[in-house]
Each structure stands twice: as C-alpha cells, then as structure tokens.
Amino acid sequence: MVVSNADAKKAGINGFNNGIAGYPVGQCTGFVASILRANKVPESKYSYLGNGNQWAANAKSRGIKVDMKPSVGAVVSFKAYGSSYYGAYGHVAYITKVNSNGSVHLYEGNFSGLSFHERDANIDSAVAGVIHFSDGGGTTTPPKPNTKDSAAIQEFKKNGNAYKVTKAFRVDELKQINGMWQIVNYKLAGGKPVNWTNNGIPVAIVDKTDSAGKKTSNQVLKVGDYAKFMSSFDNGTIDAYDTPTNGVGIIMGKYGMIWFNADEFKKMK
C-alpha cells in the first residue's frame, strides 16, 4: 500500500513534530517512519534503524530489499557527508515520483530544519541505498531466524531493560568512519567481520584505561589499548532487541544506535 502524496505529507509532518517508532522529534527519520506507518508497513521493519545513513544497511539485514533502483513509495538513505545537505548522520527521504531522466522527487523532514520539504534528487554516489518497504519492491529471503530470546536478553527484559557497564574492553580496531573516530571490540560486536555502522563505538564516549579499568593520563587510543564507557554513557535502558542476532541496541545520544552482542554486553556490568 502507498498512500496519496497529500496523506504522505500529512503523516510525515506528524512524525517530524511528534517522533515515532523510537525516532526523536525534529528528525528526517521520524518523518519517513510516519509515512511508512501510513503505508501499513509493519513497525518491526522500520523501527530503530539508526541514523539516516544507517537505514540501508540495517534494513537489508532485516531481509528488506535494498538496491539503487528508485520507485514510488521507496525510501532513499543518503550517506554521511554525501553532500553538503546531509552532515555526519546522513539523511532519509521518501520517493513520491520517479522522473523520466531517472531522478526522483522527494518528500523529507529536517531539510534545513524544516518540518516539510520537497525537491528532486539524483540516485548517485551520495546514496547508500534505495529501500523497498512498501512499494512492491519485495523482500529478500533472510536466513531462518532464531525466535527465542537468549538468556541474556531475557535477563535484560526481566530487569526492566536496564543496563550498567563498568568493565574495560580491548580496542581491536580503530578507524575514522562517518566523519568520526570509532573503535570496535570483536566480542561486543558479536564477532568478525564487523559492521562499523552498527557496532562502531565513538571514541568521544569512552575513556582510555588500563586492563583493570583505571583511567590513564594519556587518552590517545590505539589498537591493543583498553577503554570503558564514560559515566554518562555506561548506564541507562536498552532501546531495542534483535533476537535473531542476539543483539541489544542502545541509542547513545547524538551518536545514534549502537548494537552489542547481548551475552558479552551482559558480562560488562
């Protein structure tokens, strides 16, 4: 189902003004998510997909078709720093028309801070992917998922989704991704290969420590060092679960959603 453009505009503005499906007020993600809800897309497909630049990869991991072929009702995920419009966290927008030259007409929120904006855009190197939620693009067939929560996820849920992580972890990789320095720990990421979009931990939210968790005077991180979350990020509530991958997702303020292996994250308390 794809609603009329008038209804899509109305739904988008509502999502921008009020937030929806775990997306905060005043963001492009809430704008698009609200249109997807109007299109009768199951919320499990579009909730907690992260920042705009993360939507394509995260939707694909859920078995949703992602390609570079635009169609009405699909969603465009733009890369971080793809152009001057998109900044550090990328952008998402909703396709209302595919033009004869292959460009698309978009409805979007938080373009220059506006609750509603429309424009034409090209599907080019700035695009992370075109996501086919409800436009007839179909879905890929994902592997048969686990349907039962792990013991770790069950315990988090039993405790009201609360977490507290105070232990240090090893820096296994260090890279500049999406315009910021990030680190990963292979165990926390659930193994290799690592998905930096999902599992990268911004250096800005950790302290460098020794292996026992004591903060060091030299805070320049390198591979092989140890780190732990700063006090403002080491506790809170889990925002999302992914039972098939045994994942827990936490929105770390402006840095968006980070996913951790539930078993290893539980060991961090």
Segment (H or E) for 151: helix 151-158
For position 145, what pLDDT does the model report?
56
Calpha distance 19→100 (Å, rounded): 34
Tell me what pLDDT residue 257 has: 82
In whole angstroms, give the CA distance from residue 251 to residue 249: 7
Instruction: Look up the pTM and report it.
Output: 0.54
pLDDT at 26: 94
Which residue carries 């005077």 as its tokens?
Answer: 217
Integer-rounded Cα Rg, in Å, for the chain is: 19
Q: What pLDDT score was predicted for residue 139?
A: 40
Residue 142's pLDDT is 44
Q: Chunked in runs of 10, what are the mean pLDDT values of the chain (269 residues)?
A: 88 92 92 93 91 93 92 93 67 94 94 92 92 63 64 95 96 88 94 83 96 95 97 94 87 86 94
Packing angle of the helix pair 28-38, 5-18 (nearest 10 deg):
130
Single-letter amino acid, residue 241: Y
